[in-house]
Amino acid sequence: MKIDLTNKTAVVTGATGELGRTIVRSLAECGADVVICYYNKKDFANELKNEIQEKYSVKAISVWADVTDIDSIMAMKNEVSNSLGIADIIINNAVIQINWKDILEQDPKDYESQFKSCVMHNVYMAKAFVPDMIKQKYGRVIGINTECSMQNFITQSAYVSGKRGMDGVLRVLAREVGKYNITVNQVAPGWTISDRCREADGSESNINQDFPYIDRLPLRRRATDIEVANAICFLASDLAGSITGVYLPVCSGNVMPSI
């Protein structure tokens, strides 16, 4: 049994980021044609596109989009349709990065940016891509959430407010479009090991030493970007055809949804 996404088209927002690039590569490795949606790394997006086409022999395009703007999302969707046809899978990964501060110190504009890039981003992507999924009676919507949504620690308020709002939108969407054979799920990473960490700290064994965060983890190690991408590929596949409305932490057990 393997994850097979052959003949599927997947759109990934924030695809040039640390996690996004790994998601794109993993989807392509499973056989999916991929859309590398970027905001400010055009050159890297094109490099990634060429790498994927050469290594995995799938189709790949790079497309600019501002995920906080409905017109930009719709223009990106049209480009996808013209180049690759209907998108079977959308991965809503992009988010505006902010500095975390106490509520009394956090700029109100940060709450607005998180609402736009978490909540409205997911709304706009649904409005753009889900109608075609409904027509073909098949689709996968996957939002990238965070373990912070369950933690609610100090300084997380702006980030958590956007991600918890996103959670509500996607759970409702799961109920609304399930009858069309469309699943809607969320993957929630923790403090993940990515290429940036590896380049700065060396081996993963070194990265996983002497951190209070790691001492709290049941697995005593941080999850990797590849492990997060593996979960995404599974939810994007037919192996997960009856799984919808899920918030799935991939964070070495740091948060555990309970019944």
What is the DSSP pairing of strand 60-64 with strand 89-92?
unpaired
- How do residues 215-257 score in pLDDT, each as one tens digit? 999 999 999 999 999 999 999 999 999 999 999 999 999 999 9
What CATH number should be reported for the domain holding residue 140?
Answer: 3.40.50.720
Residue 3 in any domain: the answer is: no
How many whole angstroms separate alpha carbon 222 and alpha carbon 97? Answer: 21
Provide the domain count of the chain. Answer: 1
Residue 256 in any domain: the answer is: no
Q: What is the pLDDT of residue 200?
A: 75
Residue 204 in any domain: the answer is: yes
- How do residues 50-109 score in pLDDT, each as one tens digit? 999 999 999 999 999 999 999 999 999 999 999 999 999 999 999 999 999 999 999 999
Residue 1 in any domain: the answer is: no
Per residue, what are the HEC states of the chain? CCCCCCCCEEEECCCCCHHHHHHHHHHHHCCCEEEEEECCCHHHHHHHHHHHHHHHCCCEEEEECCCCCHHHHHHHHHHHHHHHCCCCEEEECCCCCCCCCCCCCCCHHHHHHHHHHHHHHHHHHHHHHHHHHHHHCCEEEEEECCCHHHHCCCCCHHHHHHHHHHHHHHHHHHHHHHHHCEEEEEEEECCCECHHHHHHHCCHHHHCCCCHHHHHCCCCCCCEHHHHHHHHHHHHCHHHCCCCCCEEEECCCCCCCCC
Residue 258 in any domain: the answer is: no
Please name the residues in contact with 83: beta carbons below 8 A apart, sequence gap of 6 or more: 59, 61
* Pairwise pLDDT comparison (212 vs 205), residue with the higher score: 212
> For the chain, first and last CA: distance in Å?
30
Is the pLDDT score of 197 beyond 90? no
**How many Å separate Cα 46 from the centre of its chain?**
20
- Average confidence (pLDDT) over 190-218: 81
Is the pLDDT score of 205 beyond 90? no
Domain containing 157 equals: 9-249
Residue 151 in any domain: the answer is: yes
pTM: 0.95
Residue 257 in any domain: the answer is: no
Instruction: Please report which confidence band the pLDDT of residue 187 belongs to, taking 50, 70 and 90 as the band edges.
Output: very high
Residue 158 in any domain: the answer is: yes
